[in-house]
Amino acid sequence: MSTNRQHASAYLQRLLAARSPEELIQQLQPHTENPAPKVPGGSHLTDEAIDRRWELLPHAAASREALLDPQTLAHKDAFKRNIENFIGTVKVPIGLAGPLRVNGVFARGDYYIPLATTEAALVASYSRGCQLLSEAGGCTAILLNEGVSRAPGYAFRTLAECGQFVLWATAQVEEFRRQAESTTRHGKLSDVRITIEGNHVYLNFEFTTGDAAGQNMVTLATEAICAYIEQHSPVQPQYHFVEANLSGDKKASAQSFLLVRGKKVSAEAILPAELVQKRLHTTPEHMVNYWRMAAMGGVLSGTMGVQGHYANGLAAFYLACGQDVACVAESAVGVTRFEVTPSGALYASVTLPSVLVGSVGGGTGLPSQKAALAILGLGGPGKAQALAEVVAGLCLGGELSIIGAICSGDFSRAHRLLARGKAAHHAAQEARPHG
């Protein structure tokens, strides 16, 4: 993380323009006098606890009115399992993208997809891509694999002790399974992977989690396994941690392409050249030219995967539908591929190996998010696999739209019209989206 010498020099000059070096050093020292009061109340959502938190914030009447409106106050009890130090809610605009026709193993039909965002042109872009796919007969989407992992790490004194431990642990898988599944009705231990690095051992436990995204579920299940290991292992580790950063939790990693975290899904479509020209104002050949150059750009910049902007659609979808938005960091790892078919049509596909979505648990039961899932018809038990296939179709639509916009020269125009407030109503309907 180096900084160019000229940039560093110019930055230091700006810092020292209004203060001496001694004053700057003093400003950066720890100051322990008169600490501010702690935020009171923890997870309590009583009126009294909420009032006490707002009392910490002087001159905050306007903020309180915006964040703690009457509807939020009426629904406050619904938030008790999802928030601490509660003071209100943030309202994010939500729009509909679609219709998206999905011909999947679990998702079948036409979907209007709620997307919550503050970024103008995003919903328009994804909506255009979804409509294009629907006009071509829909996208094929398949859930390929699923599993959520948690990877505790153990430190021993020597490699020999690691070997003893691994020899014992490999014979304990059935007992590990019993311990894990005693904590949950829905989680099942499906696999264990072992990694040795020096005198460290990582046990990567992979679970299926039913219709929940399942991150808390697998943490509690792994904790139970760790407790069993602590009581019964013939060689005791010096120390251990329930998660040693090998699972890939909430970060992009190459491991995503080798294993699965969440749900691995792929979606594809074949778009006739005439439809590409009519709706995207470009050609399949030119879109493949862009995809090829962009793929090389991704390689040169060291990105994980090769895709245009999965994170845009995923973040908006996760926020609207009660998913863990931080999981976009790993869910947005994937590959987009475009080809020209022998008949001159455009073949387009996306593969996302780490889509972490659930139709139950987490934020899916909150009032707004539950309503958004109801729009999709994908809330509640038995819907998580379909939800993942719809997400794949959404990402495919987004890739088609943004790449079409870049190829046709409409990319900047859409932002100029929609993001700067200069569009007439008809322009908003017809604009070429987004990135």
Quote the CA–CA distance of 297 and 34 in Å, as a whole number.
Answer: 52
Q: Which residue of the set 119, 135, 268, 339 is catalytic?
A: 119
What does the DSSP 8-state code read for residue 360? B
Instruction: Extract the tokens encoding 213.
Output: 């995204």
Partnered with residue 271 across adjacent β-strands are: 346
CB 223 within 8 A of CB 203: no
Give the C-alpha separation, 100 to 387, whole Å.
13
Give 435's contacts (C-beta < 8 A, 6+ positions apart): 125, 308, 309, 312, 402, 405, 406, 411, 415
Q: How many residues does the chain have?
A: 435
3-state secondary structure of 379: coil
CA distance 57 to 246: 40
Token code pair at residue 358 = 């659930």
- If you search the block for the tokens 């020096």, which residue do you land on? 198
What is the DSSP pairing of strand 94-104 with strand 139-150?
A: parallel
Catalytic-residue membership of 119: yes
What's the CA gap between 358 and 337, in Å, rounded?
26
Active site residue 324: yes
Instruction: Please calculate the CA angle 405-140-429 and round it to the nearest 5 degrees.
Output: 35
CA–centroid distance for 190 within its chain:
23
Task: Name 6's bridge partners.
Answer: none
Are the C-beta atoms of residues 186 and 384 closer than 8 Å to each other? no
Q: How far apart are CA 332 and CA 392, in angstroms?
A: 11
- Taking alpha carbons only, the member of 247, 411, 434, 256 closest to residue 332 is 256
Largest Cα–Cα separation, the chain: 75
- Rounded Cα gap, residues 168 and 96, in angstroms: 54
Active-site entry in 206, 309, 389, 415: 415
Positions marked active-site: 119, 324, 415
